[in-house]
Amino acid sequence: MLKLNGISVKYGSYTAIQQVNIEVEKGDIVVLLGSNGAGKSTTFRTISGLNKPFEGEIEFEGQSIKGRSPDRIVQSGVVQCAEGRKLFSDMSVQENLRMGAYVHRRKKEQIKQSIEHVYELFPILKDKRNDAAGSLSGGQQQMLAIGRALMSKPKLMLLDEPSVGLAPLIVEQMFEVIQQINKEGTTILLAEQNANAALKIANKGYVFENGSIVVKGSSDELFANEEVRKAYIGA
Ligand code: ATP
């Protein structure tokens, strides 16, 4: 479904990622592991069309998306749920969800159905539907960010550290919902520091170090890999 082939990106003269190869099959949950600054966000920004690679190729569903504008990439079915969340904080929960549907000209009834679907996944958002997004807790804002991304009916969702800063119980719920979204047909590419939780739901993963992929494998292989355990699982 998604193929990154030898992708390298620079910020000025600084090479942030180098010769990155990633393959995501339809239906997968794939995780990118790596410490802060290893290159995960740059990879996401490049897939979303926000960073331009100076070499390599990106294909989505067999077509090159390199050089496409971010809007067109969303229209192709790839949506990023940002780490910084970037909600409209003065707007209500429900208004934020509506904004997520803007890329496709969808009928009112379809938008309503999608909103109801988000409320089924995250009942707390229904309770708070008239509250300003900025008044929500960190976990609720993260749920809203995921809900808003779902409103565009993505084929592939990019999730950058959805568990960062959340209480353990909320993290657990978050991963359950990610799994649910995947079961309903959305392919997931996930960047995480929480390797333990992420590898439990992922089928495979890639480990970034200093802008390059240093290890890749199935979740079981990564879980069994001593270096990965030492660096990211801590057992
Ligand atoms: P984090 O979890 O902190 O976002 P990351 O693995 O996603 O980490 P990136 O954000 O992709 O890593 O950063 C990769 C490298 O590029 C880092 O060395 C970072 O300092 C650098 N970098 C990121 N954004 C910029 C920018 N806008 N200008 C210059 N350098 C940048």
Give yes or no: residues 211 and 111 share one domain. Answer: no
SS3 of residue 7 by DSSP: strand
Domain boundary among 113, 133, 152: 152
Domain span at 42 = 1-77+154-235
Give yes or no: residues 73 and 158 share one domain. Answer: yes
Whether residue 220 contacts residue 201, with contact meaning beta carbons closer than 8 Å, is answered with no
- Specify the residue with its C-alpha closest to ligand 1, atom 26: 11
Phi, psi angles (nearest 5°) of residue 27: 95, -10
Report angle CA 119, 122, 126 to the nearest 5 degrees: 45
Q: In the chain, what are the helix, strand and coil shares in percent, each to the nearest 5?
A: 40, 25, 35
Residue 64, number of CB atoms within 10 A of its CB: 11
Mutate to test the pocket of ligand 1, among 4, 18, 41, 159 (most ligand atoms within 8 A of CB): 41
Which residues line ligand 1 at a C-beta cut-off of 6 Å?
11, 14, 16, 34, 36-42, 208
Give yes or no: residues 160 and 172 share one domain. Answer: yes
Q: How far apart are CA 70 and CA 57, in angstroms?
A: 16
Give yes or no: residues 48 and 5 share one domain. Answer: yes
Give yes or no: residues 147 and 158 share one domain. Answer: no
How many angstroms does the Cα of residue 43 sit away from the middle of ligand 1? Answer: 10
How many angstroms does the Cα of residue 38 sit away from the middle of ligand 1? Answer: 7
Give yes or no: residues 13 and 47 share one domain. Answer: yes
Give yes or no: residues 73 and 185 share one domain. Answer: yes
Give yes or no: residues 47 and 102 share one domain. Answer: no
Give yes or no: residues 61 and 111 share one domain. Answer: no
Interval 11-50: pLDDT, tens: 999 999 999 999 999 999 999 999 888 999 999 999 999 9
Give yes or no: residues 42 and 127 share one domain. Answer: no
Mutate to test the pocket of ligand 1, among 8, 10, 14, 189 (most ligand atoms within 8 A of CB): 14
Give yes or no: residues 143 and 202 share one domain. Answer: no
- pLDDT value of position 82: 66
Mutate to test the pocket of ligand 1, among 8, 9, 11 (most ligand atoms within 8 A of CB): 11
Domain count across the chain: 2
> Each residue's pLDDT tens digit in the chain (235 positions)?
999 999 999 999 999 999 999 999 999 999 999 988 899 999 999 999 999 999 999 999 999 999 999 999 999 999 998 655 678 889 999 999 998 887 767 788 888 999 999 999 999 999 999 999 999 988 899 999 999 999 988 999 999 998 888 888 888 888 999 999 999 999 999 999 888 889 999 999 999 999 999 999 999 999 999 888 888 876 5
Whether residue 169 contacts residue 180, with contact meaning beta carbons closer than 8 Å, is answered with no
Determine the residue type at 101. A
Ligand 1 atom index nearest CA of 34: 6
* CATH code (residue 34): 3.40.50.300
